[in-house]
Structure 1
Amino acid sequence: MNPIAKYFLSRVGLLAAVAVPLSLFNVNLLLALAIGLVGSMLLGFVLLRGQREAMIDHIDAAAKRRGEEKRRLREELAGEDA
């Protein structure tokens, strides 16, 4: 699975894991979502560190790959052989 999607789904899962129990205890839904958002941010910072680093590595590798491709295409357009 794509590390970006995996991280996103984990963050949404943390939000639900915090907000759903609060909404079951007759807390206003908007308040439960706000508390869930803050709680998922705090928990995600600690619990999702490995997934966050994998996502960053994935994005960094894609940026480097695109940069290399762009450099190679510019060299070809300039008439240089790569």
Structure 2
Amino acid sequence: MNNPVAKYFLTRLAIIAVVAVPLMFFMNALVALAIGLLASMVVGFTLLRRQQIAMIDHIDASAQRRREEKERLRAELAGDDA
């Protein structure tokens, strides 16, 4: 999987599932999901830092490409009008 955004999302989803599913046998499903979400947040901020940075870099690169393409198209339009 080359997309860091998808990798990070699926990892966080897996953490929620790993924590919440066993807890569902002992408590309400919504409470178990809430605990799984909290656990995912804690793990995401600590252990998944490298994946988070890769995801941010990927999003920044995509935004930069879009900005450059937009500037190029505007320059072409400005050149055609002159």
Cα drift, residue 21 of structure 1: 1.9
Cα drift, residue 44 of structure 1: 1.1
Aligned to 1:15: 16
Give a deviation string over 1:3-61, Cα, whole Å, max 9, x none.
1100000000010111112113x211111001111111111111111111000000000
Give, as a single letter, the amino acid of the residue that structure 2 aligns with 1:48. L
CA–CA distance in structure 1, aligned partners of residues 34 and 11 of structure 2: 17
> Structure 1 vs Structure 2: percent identity of aligned residues?
66
TM-score of the aligned structures, taking structure 1 as reference length: 0.90
Give the match's secondary structure for 1:27.
coil
Give 5+ residue unaligned stretches, structure 2.
none
Matches within 5 A, 1:10-49: 10-24=11-25, 26-49=26-49
RMSD, matched Cα: 1.1
TM-score of the aligned structures, taking structure 2 as reference length: 0.90
Give, as a single letter, the amino acid of the residue that structure 1 aligns with 2:29. L
Give 5+ residue unaligned stretches, structure 1.
none
Give, as a single letter, the amino acid of the residue that structure 2 aligns with 1:10. T
Structure 1 residue runs of 4 or more that deviate by more than 3 Å after TM superposition: none
Give the match's secondary structure for 1:8.
helix
Is the 8 Å Cα contact of residues 15 and 37 (structure 1) preserved in structure 2?
A: yes
